[in-house]
Amino acid sequence: MQILKNKTNIDFIGKRKPAVFLSTIINLAIIVGIAAFGFNLGVDFAGGTVVELKFNHSITAEEVRQRAQKGGLEDVSVQNIGGADENSFLLRMGGVTQLNEESATKARAAIEGLGNVRNVYPDLANGIVNFRSATALTPDAIKKAVEGTGTGVQEVRELGEAQGGGFDYQVVASGMADKVYSALGQGLEKPDFEQRRVDYVGPQVGKQLRNRGIMALLYSMVAILIYVAFRFDFKFGPGALLAMVHDVIMVAGYYLVTRREFNLTSIAVLLTVVGYSVNDTIVIYDRIREDMAKFKGKPFAEVINIAINDTVGRTILTSLTTALSLIGLLIFGVGEIFDFAAAMLVGIVVGVYSTIYIASPLTIWLDERAAAKEARQAGPIDQQPKAA
């Protein structure tokens, strides 16, 4: 069996200009889109709480949302996951603790009502309120006062006697997951749901994770570029790099357009795409190098076209086998694993395309420029065959 029966002789390189033009437009559109709309950041990066619930009876997402609202949970998004008969839902909330601007103001008033209290500092990011009291207070009294305003208190810490008189205290607000549990279970003797998963990421950690993800992407691109430059000629480097950037942007486009959650797994996908995208590029580069020796004297662009035609069958095949392996994940994968497979699929397809229409044209262009420069310096008579 053979997919491409006869050796192809398609003029890939001849169509490079419109292709590069089109790619540039799409890439720019994605970058603008990211700048304008941003990703649908998951809790990994945005910070927040995700709770996965499974009900033991049939219920719709809208009903869950209404129940949550009735229980006092205002900003919550409810999403159905898995099959319709599974009654599983993802509840997403912005905050990680029950302390937000509004509840902090109320809590502050309650604390100030306790007596001679100064320096009340709510720290929304960590869900903490620090304050100093002139007289010693009991943690129970503080807890009661704050809980009276509707904010759950996990603990009140006594930080000890302060310099210059007074006592320091720290109120730690409860997490959102607790609130979900109590809000949805309100009025029920026994909750009719099971809390299957809780993801909670503090905003600082989220920022840290995001920065680390971006750094990881940059590092791996640079490292791969160095390897390619070392193994091939330096003029191959920029093409491989640009192809990688193109693929990463296109896969990022998947997350942008579908509005699927962008999280740590997405970074893993982007990194894998970086590693994988360069695979196809290397297959063709290897062949270009081989053909350069074989077809000495032919123009570089033509050599590249031959190399692409020689390898196009196998490039399609390797992409096909990798894509086949992902089908199972597309069918059985839920949530981030489905996205992993779908985004990888995008990466595989654009990887093939970018090798032909991004990496190769740039390499040709660089070569032509170098040749032109050489020609200018050496005079027109001395021009050497480029592929030598």
Q: Which of residues 239-278 bind another protein (CB under 8 A)?
A: 264-265, 267-268, 271-272, 274-276, 278
Note whether 96 and 48 are within 8 A (CB): yes
Which 69-98 residues touch another protein, going by CB under 8 A? 96
Report the nearest approach of another protein to the CB of residue 378 (Å).
33
Coil/strand/helix, residue 296: coil
Q: Is 220 in the site for another protein (CB under 8 A)?
A: yes
Binder to another protein among 40, 295, 318, 349 (CB under 8 A)? 318
Side chain identity at residue 204, one-letter code: Q
Pick the binder of another protein from 40, 79, 154, 182 (CB under 8 A): 154
223 binds another protein (CB under 8 A): yes
Nearer to another protein, 93 or 96 (CB): 96
- Per CB under 8 A, the list member of 16, 48, 52, 255 interacting with another protein is 52
Residues 7-46, interacting with another protein (CB under 8 A): none
Between 16 and 177, CB nearer to another protein: 177
Residue (of 284, 283, 256, 286) closest to 270 by Cα position: 256
- Tell me whether residue 20 or residue 323 sits nearer to another protein (CB atom): 323
Instruction: Pull the structure tokens for residue 124.
Output: 């929304």
Q: Show the site string, 338-377: x = touches another protein by CB under 8 A, - = not.
A: --xx--x---------------------------------
| Shortest Cβ 210–another protein spacing (Å) | 12
Q: How far is the CB of 342 from another protein (least distance, A)?
A: 11
Among 202, 245, 368, 371, binds another protein (CB under 8 A): 202
Q: In whole angstroms, what is the distance from residue 133 CA to residue 171 CA? A: 13
- Ranges of beta strands (E only) in the chain are 40-41, 48-55, 76-81, 88-93, 117-123, 128-133, 153-161, 167-173, 193-201, 261-262
CA dist 254 and 26 (Å) reads: 12
269-301 burial code (b ≥16 CB/10 A, e <16): bbbbbbebbbebbbbbbebbbebbeeeeebbbb
Looking at 245, 279, 349, 368, which residue binds another protein (CB under 8 A)?
Answer: 279
Instruction: Name the residue nearer to another protein (CB basis): 16 or 354.
Output: 354
Residues in Cβ contact with 378 at an 8 Å cutoff, skipping those fewer than 6 apart? none
Stretch of residues binding another protein (CB under 8 A), selected from 30-38, 254-262, 330-338, 377-385: 330-338
Residues in the chain, total? 388
Task: Give how far Cα 279 sits from Cα of 251, 354, 366, Å.
Answer: 16, 11, 21
Tell which positions 162-181 bind another protein, by CB under 8 A: 162-163, 170, 172, 174-175, 177-178
